[in-house]
Amino acid sequence: MSGNYIVSKDALRKLWRLAYPDRELPSLKSELWKEMGWQGRPTSLAGVRFLELLGVDEMAFDNLYCVAFQMMDAQWLAKRASYMEFNEVLKSTRTQLERELALEDVSSIKDLPAYNLLNQ
């Protein structure tokens, strides 16, 4: 796991440099990361796996965003949800994404079972 963690730290450093090219890189425990939207370092297997994917595929974030949007839309329609059920559908989408990202055979976003939603 330590090797994977190094890739994750490198991916975060690269992300910081891309987002803030003129600012000094803070330590990984700095509150400055909240400016980018991070609330803490990834602690789940799904979070660590996503950072690994981001380190090897520059389109990982874009593709995961599209998968998540399609997944949420599919769940919304399947549940015939209303505005009042938005948080429930959002939580369900997050749970499914985390479960898929934690699968052992996922080496790219295209390996996620939900990636097939993009081809429909």
Average pLDDT (105-119) is 89
Which amino acid belongs to residue 120?
Q
Q: pLDDT value at position 40?
A: 59
Average pLDDT (86-105) is 92
pTM of the model: 0.65
Domain positions in the chain: 1-41, 58-120
Share of the chain above pLDDT 70, in %: 87
Average pLDDT (22-38) is 78
Dump pLDDT digits (tens) for 48-85.
888 888 878 888 889 999 999 999 999 999 999 999 99
Tokens 């997944």 sit on residue: 71
